[in-house]
Structure 1
Amino acid sequence: MKVIDIKNLDISILPTKKVEEFRSFNIYPYFEKDFDFKKVENIDLNKYSFLKDEHFINIFFVNNKIVLEDKIDEFIEITYENFENSFNSLYKLNSYLDKEVTTLKIKKELEKPLNIINIFEGDNKFFTSSLNIEAKVNCDILETFHNEINKDSFISANRKYLVKKDIKANIAKVQTLNNAQIIVNYKTQVEENATLNLVNLEYKANLAVNIFDSKLEYENANFNFDGIIKNNENQKSANIMFVEHIAKSSISDVKIKHLLDGQAHALFDVASKVQNSALYSKAFQNSQTILLSDDARINANPRLEIFIDELEAAHGASCGALDEDQLYYLCSRGISKEKAKEMIIDSIELKVIKRIELKAIRRYIKNLKRLNHV
């Protein structure tokens, strides 16, 4: 069964040469493959125990279902809801295959941060993963996306983050997917005086696309996004983001760093619209790219659409190679050139990882990177 056959799905939002020549990022062929839609049942989660950590509340999310490892009833309510609409037609794709969306309502402050471990197992599979997270209290959440070395698997994931009034939610996603393609469709809703901090770390997937639908409809709502994209060989990644400021004094800040080697290709396509009702708002966008080979490439298109004067706004994109002065300095201390490159790249990654407030999450990510050799 080909995904493109499902309800004549309109995927015109996806970047292709048909839309804008500069993008050169055609992923339509991924939707024309024949996939196996049958879920792998009775997955042995014991072999993924290394992904659990005693410093976290650990839950698995497998085959679009929550599998509880730790008791959470006191802190989290699990409900099931209907799929929502979005301007992004891919957000409705999962509704053709699943009846409901799993919703985690965090109703009481957690004793430990929450680790949601997403497992995908099987060759030539089409996986769906639909999850809403509603933060009614301040919380720290980590989502881990992991698979075995599967062949040609495709993941269609939906995430909706709702942050209630006066609440701060810190959410990090670390993705170490082997030989996989993944599209994550996001919706974010941040209420009055609330803050959503997202940090996204992507490694190893053959294709990774993030599409954001973010509306700042409440006064003093804050949405901050930091990402690191580390690609090599022929890996592709894209961040396509639509942020609309509607309420006064709302803030959005989008920053993504790309580390591209081999023939890797990345797309940064971020559009922020500030409506005339969004007085005194702030809208920032920034793409920074290090090209580690002559064949790696980045298409960066930050853009602002502003209808008022009373605001702060800035956007930019930079692209270059590793700092030769830093390389020279390290090599002059007896460090090999390859090791010096590795140290500089690690320092760039660390700046993004340090955006994660909780030390336990930073430590978990460091250990996971070591296990996955990224």
Structure 2
Amino acid sequence: MLIWEWATATGIPQPAGGLIEVSVALDSGAAGKAYGDPAFIGQVHPGDRLLLNTTAVHLDLGTGGYHFIHMNAGNGRAKCEHAGGARSSEPIAGSGQGRHGGNRLDEKRGHIMKLRYTPLQHAVLAAEEAASPFHEVFSEKKSLAGMPVLIGELHSMLPIAAAWLVQRSALTVSYIMTDGSALPLALSRHAAELKRLGWIRQTITSGQAYGGDIETVNKFTSLLAARWVAGTDTAIIAMGPGMVGTETRLGHSGMEVGEWVNAVRALQGVPIVIPRLSAGDARERHRGISHHTLAALQVAAREKAIVPLPITGQTEWDARMAAQAQSIAKLHELRWIQAPSMQEIAAVLTDYPLPVTTMGRSAAEDPLFFQAVCCAAETVRLWLERADSPSSSD
């Protein structure tokens, strides 16, 4: 099902990460808000006629009530050229600068298509392709050389993990956005803010995801790009905003966590999984260790991951998680870590200006979720600290 509706822009567009947000009046008489990507639709002015994709709002999905602008027909003047023509000489790419050679990936037009075989397919300059200044990297480098990689399911894990790493160490971090949910990086306010703060050095969009500082074709090359193009100490992997779930064991986009474990191990990296934990979710299947995490590590992951779990001191939750974790203990390495206090978590997020919630719940409402992310990030920090130690045998 695909629902299109015409609307008129009624307000002045406001920046929303890399997108714009504009108030609209639908021809049906309803008022609403819509996101648009200037790369596809150009500039929007009050009075412009907009073709909206309203499907998600009609289905009451988790888009925050926002429609998406497919085309800007202007105010009595055609602007359809913005849905491709305006990009005929400009690739859709990020504005970042890789450390390997210091060249920008958007200096030349690429030939790798993203959103392939859809009306919005567009060419990007992928880091791997021949026209890229980093092409040779992917012929020369075949390993992560032991780099630890954080693998999370939810986008809300990203700012917590990044904050913990950079506020408690001098580590450099890149973000790999998967194609498991939102595809445009521009939709992520967290990614934009973390880049502005310098807490993540480079953004990498993998597979069909697009708009990162570095564009890559698949999981394996995105990992190599983090290590050898971005040149960061570690990478955080997570899908963009939103996710897919069906209330079934395997029917959710979180299964990609296990796939990423396999990819990291295949490249001689160290996969450290951020388990999705909750004490505040009303849904039984997500309480303690989420069934998403358990299924991904039981079924999709064929290689060993490190899975840090917080010791909360709350007998009920510690016992529940210990029992749940038995189903993944045979293959994976469980590491029980003293949970950070809420004061410690608040301290690393003090300078972060955006609200950080999980399914609408704050740290005060669901501390276990935040503690799990911080424990995983701390595991990376300690791993790299040990690796840099003169006494380390690694």
Task: Please indicate, yes or no, whether the TM-score normalized by the shorter chain is above 0.5.
Answer: no
Determine which structure has the larger helix proportion and give its number: 2
TM-score normalised by the chain length of structure 1? 0.31
TM-score normalised by the chain length of structure 2? 0.30
Task: State the structure with bigger RCO (CA 8 A, min sep 6), 1 or 2.
Answer: 2
Determine which structure has the larger strand proportion and give its number: 1
